[in-house]
Amino acid sequence: MAICDDAIVTELAVDRDGDLDTAVEPAVHVDYQMSGADYRSATIELTQQSVGTVAFGTLFVGMSLIPLLNGDLSSIPILVVGLSFLTGVYCLPFIWWAIRRRSDLLLTRHDLTADATGIRVATATTTTQQTWPTFRRVRELTNVFTLDYGTGANGMVPKRALDAPTAERFRRLVRSVGLLEQPARWTNFVRGIGLGALLTIVSVAVLSILASTQP
């Protein structure tokens, strides 16, 4: 069940010398609680932006459709697996299991402050302060900002925790340090389908050639 708490958002103006000409982007402070919906939304969207994963799913779907059209229902499991990778829903059981095991960590409240130097996050169990070079990129997805370490791990800031002006200040702040990425959601998805379709055609052609050479 998604947990939606009202976010407390404040803006801290940063002006080291008191001179408007030398002022840096304002810091942003936000307090929020993560929810299962945040993790599911971000993971599914990131999966759909993975060309390799979408291509893999498309290949499985394509290879399963041929026997299905010939009345062979044994390929239905392959179709289901392919669709789960194609849509990204294969990750949902893993998210559910992780939250079930450590909801105290994954669904905890976060007190986050972002400024020109980096991000400070305080939770009930830990406080971390990371400079911007710690992150490879900050991706803006439909419902969350992801703090990408470049290792496969991501921190998340749900957009529901920021009102429109604060979200725009956060974008400007991240853009000012050269980390903001705003990928088009469906561009890589379409590329993945195209690659998967090509792999399917090649695979079918190879299998047909091999079948024709059998005595």
Domain residues of the chain, as ranges?
A: 1-15+25-35+108-183, 36-106+191-215
pLDDT value, residue 71:
83
The rounded distance, in Å, linking the Cα atoms of 72 and 89 is: 25
Does 136 have pLDDT greater than 70? yes
Tokens of 82: 């392919």
DSSP designation for 16: T
Report the SS3 class of residue 41.
Answer: helix
pLDDT value, residue 210:
78
Residue range 142-180, pLDDT digits in tens: 999 999 998 887 889 999 999 999 999 999 999 999 999
The rounded distance, in Å, linking the Cα atoms of 181 and 135 is: 12
pLDDT value, residue 24:
61
Q: Mean pLDDT across the stretch 103-113?
A: 92
CATH of domain 1-15+25-35+108-183: 2.30.29
Angle, helix 36-48 to helix 76-87, in steps of 10 degrees: 100
Residue range 5-62, pLDDT digits in tens: 434 333 333 343 444 333 467 889 999 999 999 999 999 999 999 999 999 999 999 9
The rounded distance, in Å, linking the Cα atoms of 136 and 113 is: 19
CA-based torsion, 73, 74, 77, 79: positive or negative: negative
Q: Mean pLDDT across the stretch 94-121?
A: 93
The rounded distance, in Å, linking the Cα atoms of 85 and 94 is: 13
